[in-house]
């Protein structure tokens, strides 16, 4: 591609930021799901 190095650096930073954001949100969703499953198990254990 005929882009200048500044554009390549900006694109790399943008891709890195998006990747980190996706990983953080994914970890939060996994933790929330584990908590929900644990709460469901606790609720059914009491009943």
Task: Give the per-residue pLDDT at 46.
Answer: 78
CA distances (Å), origin 34, targets 6, 22, 23, 24: 42, 18, 17, 16
Q: What is the count of structural domains for the chain?
A: 1
Per-residue pLDDT of the chain (47 residues; tens, 9 = 90+): 568 999 999 999 999 999 999 999 999 999 999 999 999 999 999 76
Task: Measure the CA–CA gap between 43 and 18, rounded to whole angstroms.
Answer: 37
Query: How big is the chain, counted in residues?
Result: 47
Residue 2 lies in a domain: no
Q: Range of 38's domain?
A: 23-47
Residue 18 lies in a domain: no
DSSP-derived secondary structure letter, 47? -
Residue 39 lies in a domain: yes
pTM of the entire predicted model: 0.75
């Amino acid at each position: 591609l005929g882009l200048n190095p500044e554009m390549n650096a900006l694109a790399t930073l943008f891709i890195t930021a998006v990747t980190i954001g996706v990983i953080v949100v994914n970890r939060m969703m996994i933790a929330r799901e584990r908590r929900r499953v644990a709460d469901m198990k606790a609720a059914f254990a009491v009943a």
